[in-house]
Amino acid sequence: MTDIKGSVALVTGGNRGIGEGFVRTLVAAGASKVYCGARNPDDAKHLVDEFGGAVVALKLDVTDESQIEAAAKEATDVNIVINNAGAFLHGLLIGSPDISKARMEMEVNYFGVLNMSRAFAPVLKANGGGAIVNVLSAGGIVAVPNMGGYSPSKFAARAASTIIRAELADQGTHVAALIVGSVDTRMAEHVEGAKERPEDIAKVGLTAIKHKLDELDTDAMAVQVRANIQRDPKWLERQMARGLKAGKVSTGR
């Protein structure tokens, strides 16, 4: 088991949503320090003010390799990396006027995860191995047509999680992939139905760290999607296609 108490973590996109949930949950679990990565560190001020020295705001845009490199040089004591920063830009692969939204979703959701993992792998090795947690999506295990480039980017990040896990196994770094369904965040405003609290998703993430679980469904919607894939994948694909015409996504609850 990996102990959260006394650990030093970095959370990308830690100033709100699931990222903020991770910051709060890590502090509550006894982490000695949590770096809260944000494109604008002022956006993390409320967490720094609330938790004092336990939370450190860190300027970090995961699409900027120079900022990632700077973060790795500053946060040399990290042994847990939470790749949470994500982008969902409400575009379509064919229906949008260009591919700029799909390209940005891939930059954040895939290349951001890859570049963070590359930059912090030596840091984690120096600190005993530790863990990387990639916050993914049910849209990474079933293609969701009305989520445009977001769904393919999460498929790519899921595959990368498996490959990075294999590459870093010898240095003792565990890589966990979280399959997230519907959470009460700004990114999920378009989703209808019941939604989970960000803190509850984070608690599942800490379970994945503690028990070195490779992939974990974090909530009821993710579990439901997984079950439907196993039961009848083509039926689920048809349901997702209907969602494109309906212009909405629902948790089914």
**Whose CA is closest to 197, among 2, 17, 16?**
17
Runs of H (alpha helix) within the chain: 17-28, 45-51, 65-74, 100-106, 112-126, 150-168, 198-210, 220-231, 233-246
Q: Which residues pair with 9 in a beta bridge?
A: 34, 80
Could you tell me the two tokens for 218? 């974090």
Annotated active-site residue 154? The verdict is yes
Q: Are strands 131-135 and 80-83 parallel, antiparallel or unpaired?
A: parallel
3-class state of residue 131 by DSSP: strand
Among 202, 221, 205, which Cα is nearest to 213's? 205
Q: How far is Cα 207 from Cα 25, in angstroms, rounded to an integer?
A: 11
Instruction: Answer for the pair 164, 174: CB distance below 8 angstroms, yes or no.
Output: no
Question: For this structure, is 212 an active site residue?
Answer: no
DSSP tag of 18: H
Instruction: Kindly name the residue from 154, 212, 245, 248 that is annotated as catalytic.
Output: 154
Catalytic residue (choose from 33, 101, 150, 195): 150
Instruction: Using the structure block, give the residue that is written with the tokens 């000695």.
Output: 32
CA distance 58 to 56: 6
Catalytic residues: 150, 154
